[in-house]
Amino acid sequence: SGQGGKYSREANEAPRAPAPAQFRVVKLNQIWEKAQRLQLSAVKLAELHSDLKIQEKDELGWKKLKAEGLDEDGEKEAKLRRNLHVIMAKYGMNGKKDAQLADSNYIKDGSESDVLDDPRLEKLWSKAKTSGKFSEDELDKLWREFKHHKEKIHDYNLLLETVSRTEEIHKNVINPSDENVVKEELLHSKHRELKDKLRSISQGFERLRKVSHQGYDATSEFEEPRVIDLWDMAKSANFTEKELESFREELKHFEAKIEKHQHYQKQLEISHQKLKHIEGTGDKDHLNRNREKYTMLEEKTKELGYKVKKHLQDLSGRISRGLQHNEL
């Protein structure tokens, strides 16, 4: 630790230049700077970065729309505010201590019930774990599905909370002469988003119930929970056989992209642990080499995270339009 102190003094004597702004939207840079001061893991920080990049893309797109005189009813602006609130809550930056979902290494760290905190899910998981129907790899995969389901419920509750808040704001903003028509459209749009999420939660729970009781189907096409969700939703959307087949192929590419991102997340976590260890030794050459590797992995993880989230956004939008078509 003495050497670590010496290294720290040397670092203080030659401070590095301030990091360049990461985003073109001021408030997103402020959130990013705040996040640097929190005790977030390297993987969580990279994940937040890609969430903020998606938000930046949407904010800049909205500014362009607004300049063209579109979004008169303020619906897109309201949705951007909701999304930002959800991001803040997701990473524990909204002032609520319990807002951030606990990180968990699946079944290996023995904290399943702490993460699930839903009696129905806990009961299913407990049955599946003791049923003897699953290998360790399959249990690992099933645990990811359970955790993903828990996150969906969490996201739904956050959206519900922000929708309620923005409805209150809109009550005071909308021009009374247009009030009825515009308010109806706003409510329809927001509630449709909630309805889609609720449908996904309901389908997801049925799937978990079925898999927990019967085990995995050997012919199952997809492994990743987000992809399984999208495929289940796509089958109940208004797609032709040809469109559904094309969507299936795209989901295969999407799953490969997710797997690549997960590989880099694991490498980033390993590199971060190694870097912390080397910082304690004071070996500057070794430190610089590892810092370069860490920076490369961090950038690649952020970039892949952004691509995964953008692809997910596009795929979800297509399904949502297909489901709306069903309701017309």
Q: Is residue 14 part of a domain?
A: no
Look up residue 22 and give its two tokens: 């990461």
Indicate whether 194 and 228 sit together in one domain.
no
Same domain, 85 and 151: no
C-beta separation of 304 from 260 below 8 A: yes
Question: Does some domain include residue 96?
Answer: no
Burial of residue 10, with CB atoms counted within 10 A of its CB: 0-12 exposed, 13-18 middle, 19 or more buried: exposed
Report the distance separating Cα 149 and Cα 159, nearest Å: 15
Task: Supply the pLDDT for residue 185.
Answer: 63
3-class SS at 142?
helix
Nearest to 116 by CA among 102, 134, 97, 127: 102
Residues 236, 193 share a domain: no
For the question of whether the overall pTM of this predicted structure is more than 0.95, the answer is no
The CATH number of residue 191's host domain is: 1.20.81
pLDDT, position 302: 95
Instruction: Say if residues 201 and 156 touch (Cβ distance below 8 Å).
Output: yes
pLDDT recorded at residue 278: 87
User: Helix H segments across the chain?
Assistant: 2-13, 26-36, 42-67, 75-90, 112-116, 119-130, 136-173, 179-214, 225-235, 241-279, 284-327
Q: 56 and 34 in one domain?
A: yes
Whether residue 122 sits in one domain with residue 183: yes
Q: What are phi and psi of 175, to 5 degrees?
A: -65, 125
CB neighbours of residue 170 within 10 Å? 19
Q: What is the pLDDT of residues 186-242, one digit of tens each?
A: 666 677 778 888 888 888 898 899 888 888 877 778 888 889 889 988 988 888 999
Q: What is d(CA 114, CA 117) in angstroms, rounded to the nearest whole number? A: 6
Spatial CA neighbour of 99 closest among 161, 55, 41, 51 = 161
* Residues 31/88, Cβ–Cβ less than 8 Å: yes
Which domain CATH number covers 235?
1.20.81.10
256 — phi, psi (to 5°)?
Answer: -65, -40
Kindly state whether residue 12 falls inside one of the protein's structural domains: no
State which residues form the domain around 190: 114-220
- pLDDT tens sequence for the chain (328 residues): 444 444 444 444 444 555 677 899 999 999 999 998 888 889 999 999 999 999 999 999 999 988 888 877 777 887 888 889 888 888 888 776 544 444 444 444 444 445 676 888 888 898 888 888 888 888 888 898 898 898 888 888 877 877 777 666 656 655 555 555 555 666 666 777 788 888 888 888 988 998 888 888 777 788 888 898 899 889 888 889 999 999 999 999 999 999 999 999 999 999 999 998 888 777 788 889 999 999 999 999 999 999 999 999 999 888 888 766 555 4
